[in-house]
Structure 1
Amino acid sequence: MTSTIPAAVARAAHVFGSAPALGGLTWAGLSGQVRRVARALIAGGLRPGDRLALWAPNSAEWVLTTLGTSWAGATLVPVNTRFTAVEAREVVERSGARGLVVVGPFLGTDRLAELRATGASLPDLVVSIPAGWDDFLASGDTVPEEEADARAAAVTPDDVADILFTSGTTGRSKGVMSAHRQSLAVAAAWAGIAGLGPDDRYLVVNPFFNSFGLKAGILSCLVSGAKIVPQAVFDVARAMELIAAERITVLPGPPTLYTSLMDHPEAGRHDLSSLRLAVTGAAVVPPALVERMRKELGAEVLTAYGLTEAVVATMCRPGDDAATVAGTCGRAAAGFEVRVDPPHGEVLLRGPNTMLGYLDDPDATARAIDARGWLHTGDVGRLDEHGYLTITDRLKDMYICGGFNVYPAEVERALARLPQVAESAVIGVPDQRLGEVGRAFVVCRPGQTLTEAEVIDFCRGRLAGYKVPRGVALRSELPHNASGKVLKYLLRAEAADG
């Protein structure tokens, strides 16, 4: 198994050659395009070890930029497409990115214009896709192929391949660093359990900026020869068209993705029989849904558990029964050890693919990974006699909205900027469509007033959509303990009763 991404690209070209890889490209053709991107990045001034920020939805250019960045010896810094310009600016500046590839106007938003409007200090190399893509590639023609190939050959397994920013419980985003060997190892493990191969066509709906979309998506296809079929924005009708036209065999996603497909009024008009594998998680999966997916989609259904700091830690196996798939997250995968730590039952992980650490934050790294190498996930769970893990709760306040992690402290930090707000507390509450959504409990300053709409509108201008509370309760006070900490369990109980 290769242990650097450039070596994996070269291997894919050699082993899978004429098999389809991406769009109209074969794996051999993709390798050539990756080298072109690397040459263009070098021409743009990117040096070995530099970081390149990538802010765009799933696309062929995203894949080529990612692999080309590694070929040029640089480090990828994906930016969440749901981030506001203010949030994206923080990622670009804190990562010290020396290059930025950003989508042009998309879904009514000009991200580059908004980023510039924040006063962000942008790198010299800025590429807009797709409009500036061809000129960008042409700029690399002055760089000899040998120079790019030398960069690729100099990459080592322990070099940092990617830095994925994820919100922390303090509300400050943290950059999770992974080495080439780690990103490829989790990708290979996922591909192995999923049985991916050159005959597979993988519809990647999970965002590439997410660790799952990048590593269990792009990189899993790279090491297995499966074709990458990106979808920029999930649209049920378009997804069904792609499944039928491309004869898609693999389709991971949250449970709502599959119910949307099966419940769509035109589901019967599309041939979805090519699907063989569905992998889900990030929310409760009812056994009835597993049975329905197996019956109506004709696909094997697996569940998995992971986090940015470990990517894929546990996974069900083909042949597991519906109760196991629905009730557990599977057993250890990708070389991980899993244990449940008393007295609270926190899930701990240890293995070769645990993150290198948080960017420029040794204290947060030390809090996350103890002296014996165990990663403290903040999730509460239990292990059965067969080693299958079930997540039962969270030590941290994080909740999952539509498959995306939301950390209430970050939302509360945003609300603190609203002049009328004296105090706030945010919790996750159940939602039939999205799994969980935010509810904010807000206390106004004396003599000040707010409406629910004003609070939500304020958040919309500062937070990604999935982080914006769906409900607001205006209160005269919040419950506190003796040390002044808000007792969120009381708020959760109130929400459950109400």
Structure 2
Amino acid sequence: MPKSDSLSTMRLESHYGDRVAPCLADRPASFFAFFQDAVRRNPDGEALVAGPDRLTWRDLDRLSGLIAAGLAARGVRKGCRVTMLLSNRKEFVLTLLAAVRLGAITVPLNIREQRPAIAYLAERIAPTVIVHEASLAHILPEPTGSAPNFVRVAVGPCEGSFPFEALLEAGPAPAPADVGEEDTLFIVPTSGTTGLPKAPMLSHMSVIHSGIVFADALGLRAGDRSVVAIPMSHTSGIISTFASFVRVAGTIILLPEFKAPSFLATASAERMTHTLMVPAMYDLCLRNPDLASFDLSSWRIGLYGAALMPSSTLVALAQTFPSLSLMNAYGTTEAGGPATLMRPEETASYRESVGRAIAGVELAVMDDTGRELPPGETGELWIKGPAVGHGFWRDAEATAREYTGGWCHTGDIVRMDAEGRVYLVDRKKDMLNRGGFKIASLEVENALHEHSAVIECAIVGRPVEVLGERVHAFVRLAQPVAEDELKAFCRARLADYKVPESFTFTTDPLPRNAGGKVLKRLLRERM
């Protein structure tokens, strides 16, 4: 696919004091300017569909300007934090763009988060305003001496909070704030797979680079329409999808949650061309008995991440949607979103790879002493580039630990082949140790995923004496299957010590964070 003009010229630049990375020579100076480019190019084109509401790019500009005036009247200034506890709805996008106009820092929170983590973040971040779902008011923290008071703005009737609609009545849109491209644009809290969330910062430059480069890598174009069923509060929603669609001035169609029947109905009615989902969501679509009744002929880009796609699902998708380009993508919040992409022509041949680095991204596989490893060897993936975050909010210790000279330490164990394709092995913290034998949970999960009855699964270590850990599988089933059958299935594909020795079966979805990754911490607590 040919490169856009914006990617034809990249140059080395110095940023954040000690970093040097290849950057786009021609880029907007701020996210507000990035958004205004979309408004100018496609003012009357459909930008956002959310339930019955349909807004053009001109509408987004006008309404977010009024909301910016309302936020300013409630104390929001350049550098203030505006926290959002909102589902996929128009108010999410409008609040984000209003904060951008004011030069404020947007902090999107996962609506599945609970009060202790929200209180912890409020104390750390000290928001000026929290815009929240009325139904979630009960999990907002009470102001304390260490967590300054904040203004509550509710979407829907809510005692003790200003109504969101009142923000529209404060007056004309204020002039856009003067911001630098290294200024923080988003704080996107990590989803807490291992404990309390951290608060990685992403600058205007970071998000703009991700949006431009990823849109180009996918071949997005004007007129593309994305159905978003993953949380907008995660980098997959706010950067990989929203920022990329700002780049092409396309259309975002928001769903508050994923249910296969409603997703398929919306995709058909809205002539969807693009979506990003986890593999289990694709599998549920394929299993829908009414799949053939939906017209999905416009669908051309199917992105997935957070897990590998089972080969049976890849085959079924190729047979059902022969014109669909399936692409596996990988990235982390701390690295600014997408970092690798598997080209569609290689997806079937390299199913276990998450692809190669996208433009401007450097990758290295490092050992525990910080030395680069040769192709084929296993180590931690480090990422460098203009989109990489510039640290954690007011946490110098975490910043020093997880960033080195502009390189982000991902915590993911990988190997990389001679052509630069990356293969995920496991998270550092998810490796099992059974009597001295190291077991990658991802390898066992991939084997189980090949069974036709398995919708999703997760491998954790069951603590035992002597051996230390035994392999335990949490498995969500489409239909009943005997434990012995799954053991035999795995035994034909894995070394004997890697075969699960015990199972927990469920028909309910496994707990996941906003990025689609299974929350193994919660599964371990269940044992």
Return the TM-score normalized by structure 1.
0.77
> In the aligned structure 2, how far is the partner of 1:47 from the partner of 1:398?
45
Q: Which stretch shows the higher mean deviation, 380-389 or 66-75?
A: 380-389
- Per-residue CA deviations over 1:425-451 (Å, capped at 9, x if unaligned) read xx99847434426667599xxxxxxxx
- Per-residue CA deviations over 1:286-324 (Å, capped at 9, x if unaligned) read 333223212213311000111111111111224334122
Aligned residue number for residue 240 of structure 1: 264
2:397 is aligned with 1:363 = yes
Q: 1:346 to 1:178 in 2, by over 3 A?
A: same
Q: In the alignment, which of 290, 296, 302 is matched to residue 266 of structure 1?
A: 290
Aligned residue number for residue 4 of structure 2: none
Return the TM-score normalized by structure 2.
0.73
Q: In the alignment, which of 89, 93, 102 is matched to residue 123 of structure 2?
A: 93
2:151 is aligned with 1:125 = yes
Q: Give 1:194 deviation, angstroms.
A: 1.4
Q: In the alignment, which of 394, 411, 420 is matched to residue 387 of structure 1?
A: 420
Aligned residue number for residue 341 of structure 2: 315
Structure 2 residue matching 1:166: 3-state secondary structure? coil
Cα contact 2:226–2:251 (8 A) shared by 1: yes
Q: Give 1:189 deviation, angstroms.
A: 1.4
Aligned residue number for residue 458 of structure 2: 436
Structure 1 residue matching 2:455: 3-state secondary structure? coil
Cα contact 1:309–1:354 (8 A) shared by 2: yes
Q: Give 1:131 deviation, angstroms.
A: 4.2
Q: 1:364 to 1:13 in 2, by over 3 A?
A: same
Partner amino acid, structure 2, of 1:436: A
Matches within 5 A, 1:17-36: 17-23=43-49, 24-36=54-66
Q: Give 1:13 deviation, angstroms.
A: 0.9
Q: Give 1:155 deviation, angstroms.
A: 2.2
2:175 is aligned with 1:149 = yes
Q: 1:231 to 1:117 in 2, by over 3 A?
A: same
Q: 1:150 to 1:214 in 2, by over 3 A?
A: closer
Cα contact 1:40–1:136 (8 A) shared by 2: no
Q: Give 1:363 deviation, angstroms.
A: 1.4
Q: 1:7 to 1:118 in 2, by over 3 A?
A: closer
Aligned residue number for residue 304 of structure 1: 329
Cα contact 1:331–1:387 (8 A) shared by 2: yes
Matches within 5 A, 1:442-457: none
Cα contact 1:287–1:323 (8 A) shared by 2: no
Partner amino acid, structure 2, of 1:173: P
Cα contact 2:380–2:414 (8 A) shared by 1: yes
Cα contact 2:155–2:164 (8 A) shared by 1: no
Cα contact 1:12–1:28 (8 A) shared by 2: no
Structure 2 residue matching 1:375: 3-state secondary structure? strand
Aligned residue number for residue 469 of structure 1: 522
- Per-residue CA deviations over 1:26-81 (Å, capped at 9, x if unaligned) read 11221111211211111111111000110111111111111111111100111111
> In the aligned structure 2, how far is the partner of 1:141 from the partner of 1:471?
49
* Identity of matched residues, %: 29
Q: 1:467 to 1:62 in 2, by over 3 A?
A: farther
Q: 1:467 to 1:102 in 2, by over 3 A?
A: farther
Q: Give 1:170 deviation, angstroms.
A: 6.6
Q: Give 1:353 deviation, angstroms.
A: 1.3
2:32 is aligned with 1:2 = no
- Per-residue CA deviations over 1:88-111 (Å, capped at 9, x if unaligned) read 221222111110000122xxxxx2
Aligned residue number for residue 388 of structure 2: 354
> In the aligned structure 1, how far is the partner of 2:176 from the partner of 2:185?
17
Q: Which stretch shows the higher mean deviation, 431-440 or 17-26?
A: 431-440
Q: 1:139 to 1:77 in 2, by over 3 A?
A: closer
> In the aligned structure 1, how far is the partner of 2:179 from the partner of 2:330?
30
Structure 2 residue matching 1:175: 3-state secondary structure? coil
Aligned residue number for residue 373 of structure 1: 406
Q: 1:329 to 1:139 in 2, by over 3 A?
A: closer
Q: 1:254 to 1:4 in 2, by over 3 A?
A: same
> In the aligned structure 1, how far is the partner of 2:157 from the partner of 2:525?
41
Aligned residue number for residue 327 of structure 1: 352
Q: 1:170 to 1:58 in 2, by over 3 A?
A: closer
Q: Give 1:219 deviation, angstroms.
A: 1.3
Matches within 5 A, 1:138-287: 138-145=166-173, 148-151=174-177, 154-166=178-190, 171-287=195-311
Q: Give 1:188 deviation, angstroms.
A: 1.5
Cα contact 1:437–1:470 (8 A) shared by 2: no
> In the aligned structure 2, how far is the partner of 1:302 from the partner of 1:138?
43
Aligned residue number for residue 164 of structure 2: 136
> In the aligned structure 1, how far is the partner of 2:72 from the partner of 2:202?
23
Structure 1 residue matching 2:117: 3-state secondary structure? helix
Structure 2 residue matching 1:345: 3-state secondary structure? strand
Unpaired runs of 5+ residues, structure 1, are 106-110, 400-426, 444-459, 475-498
2:165 is aligned with 1:112 = no
Let me know the Cα RMSD of the aligned residues. Answer: 2.9
Q: Give 1:158 deviation, angstroms.
A: 1.3
Structure 1 residue matching 2:28: 3-state secondary structure? coil
Q: Structure 1 or 2: larger helix share?
A: 1
Q: Give 1:471 deviation, angstroms.
A: 6.2
- Per-residue CA deviations over 1:201-260 (Å, capped at 9, x if unaligned) read 101112111111110121111111110111111111110110111011101111011110
Q: Give 1:139 deviation, angstroms.
A: 4.0
Cα contact 2:48–2:253 (8 A) shared by 1: yes
Cα contact 2:229–2:256 (8 A) shared by 1: yes
Aligned residue number for residue 112 of structure 2: 82
Cα contact 1:183–1:215 (8 A) shared by 2: yes
Structure 2 residue matching 1:156: 3-state secondary structure? coil
> In the aligned structure 1, how far is the partner of 2:137 from the partner of 2:193?
29
Aligned residue number for residue 341 of structure 1: 366
> In the aligned structure 2, how far is the partner of 1:381 from the partner of 1:72?
41
